[in-house]
Amino acid sequence: MTTDSIKKQVDQYLPLLPLKQQNLVLEMIKSLLHVDKDVKRITRKEYNQEIDNAVLRMEEGNSVAHEDALKELSKW
The Cα 28–Cα 13 span in angstroms is: 16
Average pLDDT score over residue span 11-31: 91
Whether 30 has a pLDDT exceeding 80, the answer reads yes
Mean pLDDT over the full length of the chain: 89
**Cβ-based neighbours of 69, under 8 Å, separated by 6 or more:** none
Question: Which residue in 10, 12, 3 sits closest to 25, CA to CA?
Answer: 10
pLDDT in tens, 39-50: 778 899 999 999
pLDDT in tens, 51-66: 999 999 999 988 888 9
Q: Is the pTM of this model over 0.75?
A: no
